Chain A
């Protein structure tokens, strides 16, 4: 469309809605010649408020609305690929845009737990197929022929016997008046031409030239920037503050009390609002704030460890049990009992937390990066006391999230300040805020007991997890939920097994962090399996294979990774290797770490990961997600870890909360298994086995068993 040329509303047709709802909405979209953008942030731009997946328009062509926010996990490409497959359109020629946040139309749009593909594969296929069938019906009506005599290919309906053709664009208006079929016929997977390929992702160019819009990049006319001072001891109560110096900073407009909720705990702050971010930050530095931190200042990492150790004597809750562990343990010829510890970790997405909220009398708008657009919508509706329909969520690309952006807390601060000032407000967190306020990945103590018979066969295993529980952070209930047992592999053929949990409740806020409890428990569990293999004098990979001999998928994975890494080749001097496995989000993963001793130090040479996530929509996405999991897994193993002193976090920024850098990054190879199981998760499963594969390799090389993360690679 040329600029200035008016688009007639009738030119745009929107097809397809949720199966079962059978609704058609006529849409309007003006995006031709624009780089694909994940969200149309301009309020006046046409199409910003339509709800749908598939749009057809005579000037812009075919547009697919994507209802899954993009944080780097690749669903911006993979979800439309599934629709395009069944719709019979070339993914390269399709525009992709973000759908609005609307639970009624799109269901839950929250991107967590590596669930976008597994939870939407079937549905997106039906959406695409229903659109295609509707277009075929429109063509057959025009031609007065049977639908069955027509087929679709490359955005065109073709009449089989005569070869007559009509394009989707020519059919769109007719199709918009038809009801879509409720049970469209899906393609035979062997005919897939898009699913299983890795087309260039459409968001990539904008991420190399500065065009991609992240939450922090949004601005709204008249907006104030806010920087908030909060108690470093999380639950500290605000006693008083002196804002005279802050108010003297040029550009500062208001100093206001604010608060947010984190898992039921109210957390207070003092916000400085100014017309530039810089002025707000300067004003905040000039604040003098008194906090009452009570006796929380007595907490430290040391005290937490002692508390956990003491708590480990408790029986705890039993999550899973087979056979009778204590009976075999008592009389076993070989027994092992060891403990593993992991620290708190921060998410530290590269884009610091931020949110813009403009709360007006009867409506509210949000601009920013979120994993949870519907949750934000509900929260803002509640907070502003308005109906959800009057809340608009403009969600952008996320500059990383890893679980942190599923929480609404930052938007709560922005909404509170917008309501108090009547202005749109952007709350910007500093990196220091991010690291010191949390919520964090929980720290944990894992106590493992194992028993072998006289032939070295494992006959009993007990794994007890002592930690905080994301789902039970407040109130009096002192039982852990089974969420904290994630990542403990009960598929191993060990006849007597028991998995237990002991809940600790602390004032330190915790939350979901890439792969959640799998990231801590798998380290303990897969280290312990290695210790059992050593005690049984068996090769650790063979030991696992023998304990999983009935498990087809693990067996295939272990064999594939053994072959790829030359596991059975005689080891070279001064090298070591370790293996670990996990199931996460119904995906099975094996990792092998190869390390070498160099000048008295250990260096990580290569990490190989084999991943089985069933039918793969886009193999390159699985690959890069797994590469990312390796880097994050290694970082958590030997670079980063949070410590608590005087009730607060010690690490403040990347200078002492260290991230892996390019010079430390080993070679990474990812093997994506091919099979026809249902699709399962891709974003997290690669992470949990990385740390234990590495520490198992270190044992293999040095004989030193690492049972506490993070460790110092230079000191091994």
Chain B
């Protein structure tokens, strides 16, 4: 057990927990933010993607101890009122089917667009390869990222 301090979506948390616990379960079960999903537990599917100090990480393999003292953003904190350009584009193009993978998709795409406001299809493929969608929404995700870039760049 250790005392770990995290900032999640701008709120500070002090958590007493096993530092070996993956960040995913701390976010979901200790902090109670359920938008970040469990899909594989071994960095294969991207459903658990969050931002750790601005970088997209797979929270299922990020140990809580490593996140100590750092800033985390989850899907719940990416915008107020579902107003992020990616969320708008996702709604406009009706991307989600079951929706389970989509938190992770959006979190990965958000880092891509921050680093590269005009991504090509190939840039998208490279940045989004780690995010599986069993429902098969890939063609819409591609279009929606382009659309979000358009919204962002006005």
Q: Enumerate chain B residues within 8 angstroms of A201, measured Cβ to Cβ.
A: 94
Query: A204: CB under 8 A from chain B?
Result: yes
**Contact, CB under 8 Å: A659 / B18:** no
Q: Is the CB of B98 within 8 A of A627?
A: no
CB of B69 within 8 A of chain A?
A: no
Check A209–B33 contact: CB distance below 8 A: no
At the interface, yes or no: B45 with Cβ under 8 Å from chain A? yes
> When the two chains form their complex, are residues A210 and B136 in contact, meaning their CB atoms are under 8 A apart?
no
Which chain B positions have C-beta within 8 A of A70?
98
The answer to whether B138 touches A665, judged by C-beta atoms less than 8 angstroms apart, is yes
- Most B-side CB within 10 Å, residue of A73, A349, A661: A661
> Does B138 lie within 8 Å of A662, measured CB to CB?
yes
Kindly list chain B residues whose C-beta atoms are within 8 Å of the C-beta of A204: 90-91, 94-96, 99
Contact assessment for B132 and A210 in the assembled complex, using a CB-CB cutoff below 8 Å: no
Q: Which residues of B contact A337 (CB under 8 A)?
A: none
Chain A neighbourhood of B79, CB < 8 A: 209
Count class of interface residues, chain B: 35 or more
Residue B39 at the chain A interface, CB threshold 8 Å: yes
Check A207 against B102 for contact (C-beta < 8 Å).
yes
Which of A19-27, A146-154, A396-404 lies at the interface with chain B?
Answer: A396-404
Complex CA distance for A208 and B144, rounded to whole angstroms: 12
- The one of B25, B87, B98, B141 in contact with A278, judged by C-beta atoms closer than 8 angstroms, is B25
Contact A217 B34 (CB under 8 A): yes
**Docked CA distance A217–B128 (Å):** 24
Known contacts A276-B25, A663-B126; A203 and B34 CB within 8 A of each other: no
Instruction: Say if the beta carbon of A214 comes within 8 Å of chain B.
Output: yes
Q: Is the CB of B129 within 8 A of A278?
A: no
Tell which of A211, A213, A662, A668 touches B124, judged by Cβ atoms closer than 8 Å: A662
Q: Give residues of chain B (91-148) contacting chain A, Cβ–Cβ below 8 Å.
A: 91, 94-103, 106, 124-126, 128-129, 131-142
A662-B76 contact in complex given A207-B99, A250-B18, C-beta closer than 8 Å: no
Chain B residue numbers with a CB within 8 Å of A72 are 96-99, 135
Alpha-carbon distance A278/B30, docked complex (angstroms): 11
- Cα A211 to Cα B78 in complex, Å, equals 13
Cβ of A628 < 8 Å from any Cβ of B?
yes
Q: A349-B134, A350-B39, A399-B37 are in contact. Are A208 and B94 (CB under 8 A)?
A: no
Out of B1, B86, B95, B129, name the residue touching A663 (CB < 8 Å): B129
Which residues of A lie under 8 Å from residue B103 when comparing CB positions? Answer: 210
Nearest CB of A to B82, in Å: 5
- CB atoms of A628 and B40 under 8 A apart: no
- CB of B69 to closest CB in A, whole Å: 21
* B36 CB–A CB distance under 8 Å: yes
Cα separation A549 to B12 with both chains bound (whole Å)? 70
Query: Does A179 make an interface contact (CB < 8 A)?
Result: no
Selected from A206, A655, A668, the residue in CB contact (under 8 A) with B42 is: A655
- Asked whether B38 lies within 8 Å of A662 as measured between CB atoms, the reply is no
Q: Are B139 and A667 in contact (CB under 8 A)?
A: yes
Main secondary structure of the interface of B (DSSP, over half): loop
Q: In the bound complex, how far is the Cα of B48 from the Cα of A352, in angstroms?
A: 13
Measured CB to CB, the nearest residue on chain A to B130 is: A661
Q: Could you tell me if A210 and B76 are in contact, using CB atoms closer than 8 angstroms?
A: yes
> Which residues does chain A contribute within 8 Å of B97, judged by CB atoms?
72-74, 400, 624-625, 628
Instruction: Report whether A208 and B128 are in contact in the complex, using a CB–CB cutoff of 8 Å.
Output: no
Given known A250-B1, A431-B41, A624-B94, contact A208–B87 (CB-CB < 8 A): yes
Q: Mark A268-307, 1 if CB is under 8 A from B, else 0.
A: 0000000011100000000000000000000000000000
Q: For window 247-281 of chain A, which residues contact chain B by CB distance below 8 Å?
A: 250, 276-278
Q: Is B102 a contact of A662 with CB atoms below 8 Å?
A: no
Question: With the chains together, A401 CA to B28 CA distance in Å?
Answer: 22
Knowing A208-B87, A654-B40, A662-B142 touch, does A350 contact B124 (C-beta < 8 A)?
Answer: no
Q: State the Cβ distance, A629 to closest chain B Cβ, in Å.
A: 7
Given contacts A210-B34, A399-B100, A627-B140, contact A348 B134 (CB under 8 A): yes
**Closest A residue to B139 using CB positions:** A668
Interface residue ranges of A665-684 to B (CB < 8 Å):
665, 667-668
Determine if A216 is an interface residue (Cβ-Cβ < 8 Å): yes
Q: Who on chain A is nearest to B127 by CB?
A: A662
- Nearest residue, chain B, Cβ from A624: B97
Instruction: Name the residue of chain B whose CB is nearest to the CB of A430.
Output: B41
Residue of B40, B94, B100, B131 touching A662 (CB-CB under 8 A): B131
Asked if B136 and A627 make an inter-chain contact with CB atoms under 8 angstroms apart, the answer reads yes
Residue in B91, B126, B135 whose Cβ sees the most chain A Cβ within 10 Å: B135
Residues of A within 8 A of B1 (CB): 250
Cα distance A518–B91 when bound, in Å? 33
A351 within 8 A of B: yes
Measured CA separation A206–B106 after assembly (Å): 13
**Known pairs A350-B39, A352-B38; A208 contacts B135 (CB<8 A):** no
Known contacts: A208-B82, A430-B41. The answer to whether A620 contacts B25 by CB under 8 A is no
CA distance A397 to B26 in the complex (A): 23
User: Which residues on the B side are within 8 Å of A659 (C-beta)?
Assistant: 132, 134
B21 at interface by CB-CB < 8 Å: yes
Q: Are B29 and A278 in contact, CB atoms less than 8 angstroms apart?
A: yes
B14 at the interface (CB under 8 A from A): no
**A421 an interface residue at 8 Å Cβ cutoff?**
no
Q: Give the chain A neighbours of B124 by CB distance below 8 A.
A: 662
- C-alpha gap A49/B33 in the complex (Å): 27
B20 to chain A, nearest CB (A): 8
Please state if B39 and A352 are interface contacts (CB–CB under 8 Å).
yes
Interface presence of A631 (CB below 8 A): yes
Q: A208-B96, A276-B30, A400-B100 are in contact. Are A661 and B129 (CB under 8 A)?
A: yes
Report yes or no: A662 in contact with B128, Cβ–Cβ below 8 A.
yes
Binary contact readout B47-83 vs A (1 if CB under 8 angstroms, 0 otherwise): 1000000000000000000000000001110110010
Q: Which residues of B contact A73 (CB under 8 A)?
A: 97
Interface residues of A in 309-346 (CB under 8 A from B): none
Residue in B closest to A276 when the chains form the complex, CB atoms: B29
Closest beta carbon of chain A to B89's beta carbon, Å? 9
Residues A71 and B98 in contact, CB atoms below 8 Å apart: yes
- 8 Å CB contact of B90 from A208, A214, A398: A208
* Complex Cα–Cα for A293 and B94 (A): 48
| Complex contacts, A631 vs chain B, CB 8 Å | 133, 135-136, 138
| B85 CB, nearest partner CB in chain A, Å | 11
> A216 near B134 (CB under 8 angstroms)?
no
For the complex, what is the distance from the CA of A209 to the CA of B36, rounded to whole Å? 10
Asked if A212 is at the interface of the complex by the 8 Å CB criterion, the answer is yes
Check A653–B44 contact: CB distance below 8 A.
Answer: yes
Which of chain B's residues has its CB closest to A631's CB? B136
Judged by a CB distance under 8 angstroms, whether A579 is at the interface is: no
Q: Select one of B36, B137, B142 contacting A624, CB under 8 A.
A: B137
A-side contacts of B87, CB under 8 Å? 205, 208-209
Interface centre among B33, B95, B97, B102 (most CB of A within 10 A): B97
* 17 more CB-based (< 8 A) A-B contacts, given A400-B98, A628-B97: A72-B97, A72-B135, A207-B102, A209-B78, A209-B87, A210-B34, A210-B35, A210-B74, A217-B28, A276-B21, A349-B100, A624-B140, A627-B136, A628-B136, A631-B136, A663-B129, A665-B138
24 contacts between A and B (CB under 8 A): A72-B98, A73-B97, A200-B91, A204-B90, A206-B99, A208-B102, A209-B76, A209-B79, A210-B33, A212-B99, A214-B37, A217-B34, A350-B39, A350-B45, A351-B39, A351-B100, A352-B38, A399-B101, A400-B97, A400-B134, A628-B135, A654-B132, A655-B42, A661-B138
- Residues in B lying within 8 Å of A, measured CB to CB: 1, 18, 21-22, 25, 28-30, 33-42, 44-45, 47, 74-76, 78-79, 82, 86-87, 90-91, 94-103, 106, 124-126, 128-129, 131-142
A binding-site residues for B, Cβ under 8 Å = 70-74, 198, 200-201, 203-214, 216-217, 219, 225, 250, 276-278, 348-352, 397-402, 430-431, 620, 624-625, 627-632, 653-655, 659-663, 665, 667-668
